[in-house]
Amino acid sequence: MALRRILHYPEPLLKEKSVAVTEFNDELRQLATDMAETMYAAPGVGLAAPQVGELKRMVVIDCSDSEEPNDLIVAVNPEIIASEGDSLEEEGCLSVPGFCANVKRAETVTLRYQDVEGNTHERTANGLLGICMQHELDHLEGILFVDRLSPLKRSLFRKKYMKMLKEREQQNEA
Ligand code: NI
């Protein structure tokens, strides 16, 4: 088991499309274990393989709160096969530290995915879990939640974020 380094915006790899998983082997299972460990350590509620530098269609999600038992979903080759309604909720991302914004999503989604053994599952979710599914699947297409903001909000985000990065660099140099 190992923690993986999480890539941060504006890392170019985060803009790339991930490739379907065809081999359900030990390497895939190891990556899933590492991703779950990295997500819990962050802590976060979801992590997609490209965020740790692997362009594979796999995400890990756990939206249970600390009072509830773990509800880890490891979704390989996930697809949203149905969606309904609208929601507008605040999102953040482990690859965009220190920034949150409201994002438009579907309210309820049904996810079809394979587990690390290749078995197919379906799960319908709304609320935080439904949003998280949509957010993590976007990562597999090279889309970050900030890409879903209006052009004005996106450009404000970029300015603010790049300024923050610069300030951090200067602090590190000092
Ligand atoms: Ni994210």
Q: Are the beta carbons of 94 and 138 closer than 8 angstroms?
A: no
No. of H helices and E strands in the chain?
Answer: 3, 7
- How many angstroms separate the CA atoms of 167 and 151, rounded? 24
Segment 167-171 shows an average pLDDT of 90
How many A from CA of 120 to the centre of ligand 1? 24
Contacts of 145 (CB under 8 A, 6+ apart): 91, 92, 93, 96, 101, 103, 135, 138
How many A from CA of 147 to the centre of ligand 1? 11
pLDDT tier at 1, thresholds 50, 70, 90: low
Catalytic residue among 11, 122, 136, 169: 136
- pTM listed for this prediction: 0.95
Percent of residues, the chain, with pLDDT higher than 90: 92
Is 136 assigned a catalytic role?
Answer: yes
Q: Phi and psi of 96, rounded to 5°?
A: -130, 65
Q: Token digits for 76?
A: 């390989």
Q: Are the beta carbons of 75 and 111 closer than 8 angstroms?
A: yes
H-helix or E-strand spanning residue 27: helix 26-41
How many A from CA of 68 to the centre of ligand 1? 22
Percent of residues, the chain, with pLDDT higher than 70: 99
How many A from CA of 28 to the centre of ligand 1? 20
* Single-letter amino acid code for the residue at 60: V
pLDDT in tens, 73-97: 999 999 999 999 999 999 999 999 9
Residue 69 is predicted with a pLDDT of: 79
- How many angstroms separate the CA atoms of 174 and 103, rounded? 36
Segment 4-15 shows an average pLDDT of 97
How many A from CA of 14 to the centre of ligand 1? 10
Question: Where do the domains of the chain lie, and which CATH numbers do they carry?
Answer: 12-173 (3.90.45.10)
How many A from CA of 174 to the centre of ligand 1? 30
pLDDT in tens, 92-151: 999 999 999 999 999 999 999 999 999 999 999 999 999 999 999 999 999 999 999 999
pLDDT tier at 53, thresholds 50, 70, 90: very high
How many A from CA of 137 to the centre of ligand 1? 9
pLDDT tier at 174, thresholds 50, 70, 90: confident
Segment 14-25 shows an average pLDDT of 98
H-helix or E-strand spanning residue 135: helix 127-140
DSSP state of 14: G
